[in-house]
């Protein structure tokens, strides 16, 4: 008989009143590379119970041979199963995204295009992408089997991730 023990470490960074989640970090193998996944808004994942999006990210990153992830969002306000789009981007959130991006081997911009016509989303996305421009060589997005880009992790077409280089101009032209 073979016995195996697995340890999953998670940590979270919240605002003082816990209405905003800035970073959800999960580590399953400290000896492997770290990813940073940027999505739209914070869900209900709390470090013990993961929502579908968080679970899907972890599963795909394990398959891609990563050992940990920082999940950050354009908007940090915690939603109840629905995206919360704030009027402005929180400064603490901006710092958290920048720090997570700097510590990762790869940054996966996975906001999706579902809210791309919302002016608040466009503004925040532009601000974040400008702040990530120094990391352009490690900036990627999720693509489907036909190489169409910019999917959110829960899109049925991309259950198994295919990562492609993220080219900012392509996303802007898509909107």
90 or 35, which is more confident: 35
Give the count of domains, the chain: 1
Q: What is the pLDDT of residues 112-127, one digit of tens each?
A: 887 777 888 888 998 9
Q: State yes or no: pLDDT of 174 exceeds 60.
A: no
CATH number, domain of 30, equals: 3.40.50
Q: Is residue 127 part of a domain?
A: yes
Q: Give the pLDDT band (50/70/90) at residue 83.
A: confident
What percent of the chain has pLDDT above 90? 71
Q: Which residues pair with 11 in a beta bridge?
A: 25
Q: Is residue 2 part of a domain?
A: no
Listed in sequence order, the DSSP H helices in the chain are: 52-63, 91-103, 119-132, 168-174
Q: Is residue 3 part of a domain?
A: no
Give Cβ neighbours of residue 118 (< 8 Å, ≥ 6 apart). Answer: 85
pTM of the model: 0.93
| Residue 111, domain extent | 9-174
Q: Is-contact 68 138, C-beta < 8 A?
A: no
Average pLDDT over residues 9-25: 96
> How would DSSP label each residue in 13-53?
EE-TTSSBEEEEEEES-TTSEEEEEEEEE--S--SSS--HH
Q: Is residue 116 part of a domain?
A: yes
């Amino acid at each position: 008989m073979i016995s195996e023990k697995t340890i999953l470490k998670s940590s979270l960074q919240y605002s003082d009143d816990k209405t905003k989640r800035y970073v959800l970090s999960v580590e399953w193998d400290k000896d492997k590379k770290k990813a940073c996944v940027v999505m739209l808004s914070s869900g209900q994942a709390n470090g013990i119970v993961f929502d579908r999006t968080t679970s899907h990210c972890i599963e795909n990153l394990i398959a891609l041979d990563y050992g940990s992830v920082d999940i950050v969002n354009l908007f940090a306000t915690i939603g109840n199963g629905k995206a919360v789009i704030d009027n402005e981007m929180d400064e603490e959130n901006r710092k958290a995204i920048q720090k997570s991006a700097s510590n990762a081997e790869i940054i996966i911009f996975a906001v999706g295009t579902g809210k791309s016509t919302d002016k608040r989303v466009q503004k925040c996305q532009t601000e974040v992408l400008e702040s990530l421009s120094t990391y352009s060589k490690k900036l990627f997005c999720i693509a489907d089997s036909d190489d169409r880009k910019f999917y959110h992790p829960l899109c049925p077409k991309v259950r198994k991730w295919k990562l492609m280089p993220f080219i900012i101009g392509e996303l802007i032209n898509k909107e």
